Amino acid sequence: MKSNKEKVQPEKETTEALLAEGRVLRPLPQLVVDANLNPNDYEDAVKQGRSDLEAFWGEAAHELNWFKQWDKVLDRSDAPFFNWFVGGKTNIAYNALDRHVKTHRKNKVAIIFESESGARERMTYYDLYRAANKFANVLKSLGVKKGDRVAIYLPNIPEIAVVMLGCAKIGAIHSVVYGGFSALALREQINHAEARLVVTVDGFHRNGKVIKLKEAVDEAMTASPTVEAVVVVQRAGVEIDMSDGRYLWFHDLMDGEPAEFETEEMDANDPLYILYTSGTTGKPKGVVHSHGGYMVGLNRTLKWVFDIKETDIFWCAVDPGWVTGHSYTIYGPLIVGTTTVMYEGYPLFPGPDRMWQIIEKYGVNILYTTPTTIRMLMRFGSQYPKKHDLSTLRLLGTVGEPINPKAWVWYYENIGNQNCPVMDTWWQTETGMFMVAPTPCNVLKPGSAFKAFPGVHVDVVDANGEPVEPGKGGHVVVKEPWPAMLTTLYKDSEKYKEIYWSKFPGMYLAGDIATKDTDGYFWFQGRSDDVLKIAGHRIGTVEVESALIIHKHVAEAACIGVPDKIRGEVAKIFVILKEDVEEDEDSLVNELKAHVRKVLGSAVVIRGIDFVEKLPKTRSGKIMRRVLKARELGLKEGDLSTLED
């Protein structure tokens, strides 16, 4: 890696200049010269993605290993159940591990793990390959078969990669439940997936404390009849109750198994995992991803957007329980054969420079994180990044919510030292891969995620499905299938059709509102449906309301999202109390907040709870959240007409 001094210095732009209307950031010459995709190739890729979608993605698929090549790149005959790489046989884990250990990557570091206490651990591709093989054997010994579901409730530790890859190797379907969700959410998701096995941990370290994750599993296990065994990783070394005959130690099981395993040959469209985008309302929405199309999408997007080089250290600093962790902490980086960083703890522990310290310590080249994290760290000022040598960084990235230009520019100036463009990537659990995102050879505008990735057909349309004029808000849609797309919603193909494909015939509805400017750049504004984005996490307003309703004092409840400087959005709640409640308001507010946390988990951040006499409703009794929102934000109702249906 060249030092920053040797690089051609781009013209420096000041914060003011970048924020000024119409300013753009030209590609940095030193990045363009070395880019995996040069500007001409980029234009060609866009053209081919338009003129011959199948040829474009077929070529992309040839970069990976197939036990048997596909007969057809894309089969639309059962639309909207699109079939990618029909007839092809592969396994994503074979592409992430097995094929690399036959090359120079065998002894390359696959995972750098940093624990919150600062201890480091490195696993080579060969180490990870052997561990995943052992876990695949563990699964077989426990009687788990291809197609069975395995629930994973683990923090950001290497074992989560071992377990996910072990599942993929035998063809079991994993369902990772985010650690910030509660025991109830865990139970609902386990039961919906009918998981036979759960993998969890005794505890892990976060913000100086030990989080005893297994306690939530104990609670969930009281009503999870399908679960036959619970495998427990020993991490924090805390005292836990292992007396239930279903509990088994991960290390005991691993010790007894051989490190060889013949990776299962899967059909390209066989399910790899389920990831729930809502899971507590009794109607869980489990997004399903496949082996074949998904890996093709990850490989291509990661190589082009983050321009991965053989020597790179790539850090996608998010929780693996989120789709971003699935795609770009674990599967994507391993498929392209890079080194991926995993950090167990809290970004502010023990101080606000923890992330910058990690970058310096490992010489991280690419950092991918969220606007919430950037805004949180920005609050502490630039003296913290200044304490560290961040000169190894080449590219920055962001995901999960709109990034305000101010945070974009702070990130660009203080973390990237004006040498690293910020790749703002728009995508979803459902899309599996980046959909709207730049590459290092594109002209950027702070706050815009640029344009659709080559071979991806995202657009913004009005209520009639017609493309909107520049500057006008509309619905985000995808007009052609893409390889990493969800294949269905688990056990609910009707809902899959209804939610994503019924509003505009032939188009996938993303549920977001955006505008495009005169240059065709996308500006995402938020969700159009009743989904909150709290620090990037998706929470349904209905989930929050349902959680409140079960409290003994609550008669009715409504939840809306209100803007928050750090988290992007937080929940504001309106409650109609039952008649004979005598507690004072302050203690009730605290009680209800604690109740919601207990039911849904710590991911739900509540700004305020108002007690009201009435809630605005339609004649059919549906709560008009739009009215509440307009009042709360001091707007006229019409101002929100593009925001919510």
Applying CB under 6 A, the residues found at the interface with ligand WTA are 277, 323-324, 399-402, 424-429, 449, 510-512, 524, 527, 533, 538
Amino acid at 459: D
> Shortest distance, CB of residue 280 to ligand WTA, whole angstroms?
16
Measured distance CA(59)–CA(437) in Å, rounded:
20
> Shortest distance, CB of residue 377 to ligand WTA, whole angstroms?
18
Spell out where 385-472 has E strands: 395-399, 422-425, 458-461
Q: Are strands 229-233 and 197-201 parallel, antiparallel or unpaired?
A: parallel
Whose Cβ is closer to ligand WTA: residue 271's or residue 321's?
A: 321
The count of other CB atoms within 10 Å of the CB of residue 405 is 17
Whose Cβ is closer to ligand WTA: residue 105's or residue 538's?
A: 538
The count of other CB atoms within 10 Å of the CB of residue 328 is 27
Residues 6 or more apart in contact with residue 565 via CB below 8 angstroms: 375
Whose Cβ is closer to ligand WTA: residue 264's or residue 424's?
A: 424
> Shortest distance, CB of residue 533 to ligand WTA, whole angstroms?
6
Closest residue to ligand WTA in the complex (CB): 429
Whose Cβ is closer to ligand WTA: residue 500's or residue 524's?
A: 524
Measured distance CA(44)–CA(36) in Å, rounded:
14
> Shortest distance, CB of residue 219 to ligand WTA, whole angstroms?
25
Whose Cβ is closer to ligand WTA: residue 127's or residue 424's?
A: 424
> Shortest distance, CB of residue 193 to ligand WTA, whole angstroms?
18
Amino acid at 277: T
Length of the chain: 645
> Shortest distance, CB of residue 245 to ligand WTA, whole angstroms?
37
Whose Cβ is closer to ligand WTA: residue 89's or residue 538's?
A: 538
Burial class (CB in 10 A: 0-12, 13-18, 19+), 238: middle
The count of other CB atoms within 10 Å of the CB of residue 463 is 12
Query: Could you tell me the strand order of the sheet in which 149-152 lies?
Result: 247-249, 229-233, 197-201, 149-152, 173-176, 271-278, 285-290, 488-489
> Shortest distance, CB of residue 517 to ligand WTA, whole angstroms?
15
> Shortest distance, CB of residue 191 to ligand WTA, whole angstroms?
22
For residues 253 and 231, the answer to whether their CB atoms sit within 8 Å is yes
**Can you tell me which residue has the tokens 């929102």?**
629
Whose Cβ is closer to ligand WTA: residue 139's or residue 449's?
A: 449
Whose Cβ is closer to ligand WTA: residue 128's or residue 449's?
A: 449
Measured distance CA(615)–CA(624) in Å, rounded:
8
Whose Cβ is closer to ligand WTA: residue 329's or residue 429's?
A: 429
Q: Residue 170 CA to chain centroid, in angstroms?
A: 24
| Inter-axis angle of helices 183-193 and 585-600, nearest 10 | 30
The count of other CB atoms within 10 Å of the CB of residue 553 is 17
> Shortest distance, CB of residue 260 to ligand WTA, whole angstroms?
36
> Shortest distance, CB of residue 25 to ligand WTA, whole angstroms?
16
Whose Cβ is closer to ligand WTA: residue 298's or residue 449's?
A: 449
Whose Cβ is closer to ligand WTA: residue 459's or residue 512's?
A: 512
| Longest distance between any two alpha carbons in the chain, whole Å | 73
Please give the DSSP secondary-structure letter assigned to residue 357.
Answer: H
Pair of tokens at residue 374 = 């950037």
The count of other CB atoms within 10 Å of the CB of residue 21 is 4
Whose Cβ is closer to ligand WTA: residue 335's or residue 510's?
A: 510
Spell out where 462-567 has E strands: 474-478, 488-489, 508-516, 522-527, 531-534, 537-540, 554-564
> Shortest distance, CB of residue 328 to ligand WTA, whole angstroms?
9
> Shortest distance, CB of residue 404 to ligand WTA, whole angstroms?
11
Task: Please report which helix (H) or strand (E) contains residue 274, including its range.
Answer: strand 271-278
